[in-house]
Copies of this chain bind each other. A is one copy, B any other.
Amino acid sequence: MSTAASERGMTKKDFQSDQEVRWCPGCGDYAILNAVQQVFPQLGIPRERFVIVSGIGCSSRFPYYMNTFGFHTIHGRAPAVATGIKLANPDLSVWIATGDGDALSIGGNHLIHALRRNIDIKILMFNNRIYGLTKGQYSPTSEQFKKTKSTPFGSLDRPFEPISLALGAGATFVARSVDVIGPHLREVLKRAAAHRGSAFIEIFQNCNIFNDGAFDTWVDRKVRDDRLLPLEHGEPLQYGKERKFGIVRGDCELDVVELDGDGDEKNLLRHDAKREDPAFAFELAHFGEDPTHPMPIGIFRDVEYPSFDGLVHRQLDEVRAAKGEPSIQKALSAGEIWQVS
């Protein structure tokens, strides 16, 4: 018998499957795959306990490239299937790879219900603000008035802000990261893995074929430092190449201030991802929509709450303890019975 992967020290290679990776050259999905393959061996979970579930889309090809258990299901339904897997066996580490269309368009309902239940699955949403696999229609995260294959005169839907939607659904762990900022992405993945409950991670992902440069205003190397606001629990909301800018609470909203270096950092708001009330996280979620603001990345919210799968299995145990060893034959004879002789 071959040695279980769990018995050896694992590396990235252990998580590479034998299938050729088939995304367009230059696609942001490669970087995400790389990050996940780097993080998984570090989680202390035997390889055979990982299950990756996906729907349909370029991003949803993800499971094929991971040498773990995987289920490439149907469009939008990964959270439903993942819920069944996790409930059936809570020892498994269940991850979802999904796209902005898969998760937020056809799959929006399953997503918000998984988040409200707080079932312990990790949802990686590859947001490229476009339908990649079907070759370039707008998605629920595409900016309004975008010209795409299906909207030659411009789309008219207002987009979702995914972090806000997740918070509105009651998500206990909500984060945002970027395909090409490996260290940040890996850190967020590790924290998501450590969270016991649903984790929703929006990952900015470049689709260089149908929506190239969608996130350049924030993540391009040249502007990145000044345009991204990294959130660190307990740390002041400060950013910029020289950390010259910060966030303070204005009259009714959050404001950006330039720091003069005179110790005025202490007036800055401190990030608090552990706050039970999701209002602060929600405020930050919308913050990046204003083009004059930096885009927050990192963990918006990370609060503890009993996970759904944990509750389900606790209830099974409790009822069993109360009712004792079951007998099917007794169950059949429950209620009024009589004897014919």
Contacts and interface: CB of A to CB of B under 8 A. Distances in A.
Contact of A283 (B156, B277, B318): B277
A25 to B, nearest CB: 32
A69 interface: no
Contacts of A168: 164-169, 282
Contacts of A216: none
Contacts of A140: 113, 116
Contact of A279 (B106, B170, B286): B286
A176 to B, nearest CB: 15
A294 interface: no
Nearest to A275: B252
A107 B109 CA distance: 8
A153 B319 CA distance: 8
A157 interface: yes
A17 to B, nearest CB: 32
Contacts of A298: none
Nearest to A278: B286
Q: State which size class the interface on A falls in.
A: 35 or more
A220 to B, nearest CB: 27
Contacts of A305: 158
Interface in A137-167: 140, 153-154, 156-161, 164-167
Contact of A308 (B106, B156, B282): B156
A209 interface: no
Given A108-B108, A108-B109, A168-B167, A315 B279 contact: no
A311 interface: yes
A105 B110 CA distance: 9
Contacts of A278: 164, 282, 286
A112 interface: yes
Interface in A279-298: 279-280, 282-283, 286
Interface string A227-256: 000000000000000000000000011000
A304 B105 CA distance: 24
A191 interface: no
Nearest to A289: B277
Q: Which one of A116, A153, A279, A286 has the highest number of Cβ atoms from chain B below 10 Å of its Cβ?
A: A279
B279 A311 contact: no
Interface in A109-129: 109, 112-113, 116-118
Interface of A: 105-109, 112-113, 116-118, 140, 153-154, 156-161, 164-170, 252-253, 272, 275, 277-280, 282-283, 286, 305, 308, 311-312, 315, 318-319
Top 6 nearest A-B pairs (CB, nearest first) are A168-B168, A109-B109, A279-B283, A108-B109, A156-B311, A165-B168
